[in-house]
Amino acid sequence: MKKLVGAFMFATLVLVACGGRSVSIADIEPLEPTNPDAIQALLADSEQPVVLNVWASWCGPCRSEAPLLRAANEEFGQQVRFIGVDVRDSQDGARTFIAEFGLNGFRHFFDRDGAVPAALRGFGVPLTFFFAPGGELVHLHNGVIDERTLALQIDELLQR
């Protein structure tokens, strides 16, 4: 029994030590600063639905939903535009976060003061906004988003 438990723990440590989906931080460019007007213009000009995720490297729940957003971008990235907005953070922290979770598949902006989510009437972190083409807000999800909710809201965008 002890050998079995020991083997299990060793296997777990090996799995944990194995590389995940991370990329090299050197491959991550500094995030482009943004503001509410720029984001509103980007949303208005978008011909695709947009999923806008507000996150921060210091945000624990953001860490947990990051893999879901990466998976969603991999599956729906041709039909839906994914955007990340990093708030109240540092460039190093943001780049490290993006590198750790392999989120370089979609564009991220840097919002030092957190003005963007406030302008979109969202509070706290994380937030996930779902916009129809042209910038109409379809849904705002507060807090950690789970797989089912993310899949449902993306499907709502695609059904419109």
Q: How far apart are the C-alpha atoms of 63 and 98, rounded to whole Å?
A: 10
Residues 65, 86, 89, 111: which binds other proteins (CB under 8 A)?
65
Cβ proximity of 116 and 85 under 8 Å: yes
Residue 47 CB neighbour total at 10 angstroms: 7
Cβ proximity of 53 and 69 under 8 Å: yes
For residue 122, give the nearest of 78, 85, 151 by alpha carbon.
85
Residues 31, 39, 56, 68: which binds other proteins (CB under 8 A)?
68
- Contact status: 138 vs other proteins (CB under 8 A): yes
Residue range at the interface with other proteins (CB under 8 A); choices 34-42, 48-56, 109-117, 149-157: 149-157
- Contact status: 143 vs other proteins (CB under 8 A): yes
For residue 80, give the nearest of 142, 153, 4, 3 by alpha carbon.
153
Residue range at the interface with other proteins (CB under 8 A); choices 42-50, 77-85, 98-106, 113-121: 98-106
Q: How far apart are the C-alpha atoms of 64 and 70, rounded to whole Å?
A: 11
CB of 43 to other proteins, least distance (A): 18
Residues 30, 60, 93, 105: which binds other proteins (CB under 8 A)?
60
CB of 49 to other proteins, least distance (A): 14
Q: Is the dihedral of CA 15, 20, 26, 30 positive or negative?
A: negative
- Contact status: 26 vs other proteins (CB under 8 A): no
Footprint of other proteins (CB under 8 A): 12-13, 15-17, 19-22, 60-61, 63-68, 71-72, 75, 100-102, 138-139, 142-144, 146-152, 155-156, 159
